[in-house]
Structure 1
Amino acid sequence: MTARFLLSAAVATLIVWTAPSRAEELKFANFMAPTHPYVAGAFQPFADDVAKATEGALTVRLYNGGELGAGPAEQYSRVVDGVAELAISLPGYTASNFPLTLLTELPGMVDEATGTEEIWSHMDLLASEYRRVHLVSLWSSAENVLFTRDKQVTSPDDLKGMKIRVPSRNTGLLVEAWRGSPVSMPVSEIYNALQTGMIDGAMIDGTAVRAFKLGEVANHITKGMETTISPFFIVMNRDAYGDLPDAQKAAIDAAGRQASLNGQKVQVTVAADGIKAFAEMPGKT
């Protein structure tokens, strides 16, 4: 074996060992439109924070508008099955998996302005519900208010017999207590259902005025009652998270906690602006 051959082999080995590793890209499934305030206010900053903290070794690509599969209720399963590494959804859409988390929905349990901090301060009580995934973010929304198409609701008696879309079982129990008829339905179907009269109203927060264009099909909003506050979460495939180096796990967790704070801020701010805008529309109550 010649000296020249040995030198060539050593150089080749050095190149193999010093070649930079390729950046890993995580898929983030988002059922909401790319124009939804969450995208610019929480999801893209989350992706940017991960890339910055890992110096580009780990990146997050957003797939908005249901590109990886439509339907908010299916997002949790897509993460469990590995269709996407990350996804945004609501625990209320798969309520049987998250009975403890959904206690935060109940009227009076958390405050609209500080709910996210309250939830995270009790995370040790909720951790067991996230065994199948890694919990990245969890935040409380603005309070749910009542959108109705034809009937102005000013007291619980007005709701008797009305078909009201609800985002979760707990909100359904609340509507039943008001003697209404709860209808379980993902947010993406509310517009058409309200427009066609399939439902008489919908429980959802004020972001829906613009984000889901309910200001076009609803004529009344009732607020001022203590109602449910629906939590949102970002979850990650457990194996995908487990395969990451510790430094990248820490980057995901830090960016996720900030996304929780960003998500609540977006919700509360946009919801208040939406209700204000609705009140200024001609013919609205």
Structure 2
Amino acid sequence: MRLKSLVAGAVASLAMTAVHADELSFANYMAPTHPYVGGAFEPFANLVAEKTGNALTIRLYNGGELGAGPDAQYDRVVEGVADLAVSLPGYTASTFPLTLLTELPGVIDEATGTEKIWKNIQLFEPEYQRVKLISLWSSAANLLYTKKPVRTPADLAGLNIRVPSRNAGLLVEAWGGSPVSMPVSEIYTALQTGVIDGAMIDGTATTAFKLGEVADYLTVGIESTISPFSIVMNRDEFNALSAEQQAALEAAGKEASALGSKTQLTVAAGGIKAFADLPGKEVIKLTEYEARAFHELNAPVVAKIISDVGGNAQAVVDALAK
């Protein structure tokens, strides 16, 4: 009996290993209905299967099934809880200072940002030594969703504004507001209950995170940050794959970057329109003259961030500007 049990256990173990090698887990903290799922993550999984003849597949775990908290996704990949995960480098800012240069005002724009990132991808890869960088893209520009109208920096005085990264927080501080670091999943309740007075986030938030229900004003026209997103993979799992499977993942990841950016820009534009169509809401569109007051405050902040990062930071910014 003991011998049979050992044999059965060994067979089960081998079966589990085979399944693990063929099927990769993808941790996604966003809801299954989030536009990224159908627009980028499912196509990414399909591309991997197609490019490997179904020898390698990806299973999506949406809605934080492998662990809640957008800010913890990178660590889950490092620790092997998930093989792959979508993450925002801004949540672990100290690990990705060069990547986060892409979010600074004036460095890239939302229309061409992802293309420029991939033209210079070798500049960012050294920051991903603990994981394998699979995909990296820029999102739509961040806007201000607020309970009170914001037309000038003076309007932000005394307001607590959720920010997506440390760099974004420095901008809000320069504008006169008080930055609050908070995962995207907490914004709705915090804005509804008055813990924060507004949030810096792109236009997808109107519907994707239902901020159209709790914010009264949406200010657009400020040159603010553009948050990068990434898909990262456990490095040991990546190294265990065949060369062909690795190449398929890399190719699919690059395609997923373009899909992620396209999805974000489309939904963000729709989110701004959807907010304007809601009763009792107002989209405040700043003129170039009105926005200048914010932009003049941006310049010294951007210069200081680049200086503080040091190293080849200026070279990265210059390369992205070409």
Match in the other structure for 2:199: 202
Aligned residues with identical type, % of pairs: 70
TM alignment of 1:174-213, pairs within 5 A: 174-213=171-210
Match in the other structure for 2:65: 67
Residue 243 of structure 2, aligned match among 243, 246, 270: 246
Please say which of residues 167-176 and 23-32 is displaced more in the overlay. 23-32
Task: Say yes or no: does 1:153 pair with 2:160.
Answer: no
In structure 2, how many angstroms separate the alpha carbons of the residues matched to 1:76 and 1:187? 15
In structure 2, how many angstroms separate the alpha carbons of the residues matched to 1:126 and 1:266? 23
Match in the other structure for 1:100: 98
Match in the other structure for 1:123: 121
Which stretches of structure 1, 4 residues or more, deviate above 3 A after TM superposition?
none
Task: Say yes or no: does 1:114 pair with 2:116.
Answer: no
TM alignment of 1:221-232, pairs within 5 A: 221-232=218-229
In structure 2, how many angstroms separate the alpha carbons of the residues matched to 1:190 and 1:27? 27
In structure 2, how many angstroms separate the alpha carbons of the residues matched to 1:117 and 1:51? 25
Match in the other structure for 1:8: none
Q: Deviations over 1:11-68 (max 9, x none)?
A: xxxxxxxxxx767100000000000000000000000011111111100000000000
Match in the other structure for 2:288: none
Letter in 2 for 1:216: E
* SS of structure 2 residue aligned to 1:143: coil
In structure 2, how many angstroms separate the alpha carbons of the residues matched to 1:245 and 1:47? 17
Match in the other structure for 1:266: 263
* SS of structure 1 residue aligned to 2:43: helix
Letter in 1 for 2:85: A
Match in the other structure for 1:134: 132
* SS of structure 2 residue aligned to 1:206: coil
Match in the other structure for 1:162: 159
Letter in 1 for 2:116: E
Task: Say yes or no: does 1:57 pair with 2:55.
Answer: yes
In structure 2, how many angstroms separate the alpha carbons of the residues matched to 1:226 and 1:152? 17
In structure 1, how many angstroms separate the alpha carbons of the residues matched to 2:35 and 2:128? 26
Shift of 1:260: 0.1
Q: Scaled by the length of structure 2, what TM-score is found? A: 0.81
Count of residue pairs the alignment pairs up: 264
Please say which of residues 122-131 and 178-187 is displaced more in the overlay. 122-131
In structure 1, how many angstroms separate the alpha carbons of the residues matched to 2:243 and 2:114? 26
Q: Deviations over 1:184-227 (max 9, x none)?
A: 00000000000000000000000000000000000100010111
Match in the other structure for 2:233: 236
Unaligned runs of 5+ in 1: 1-20
CA RMSD of aligned residues (A): 0.9
Letter in 2 for 1:203: M
Letter in 2 for 1:33: A
Task: Determine which structure has more spread, i.e. the larger CA radius of gyration.
Answer: 1
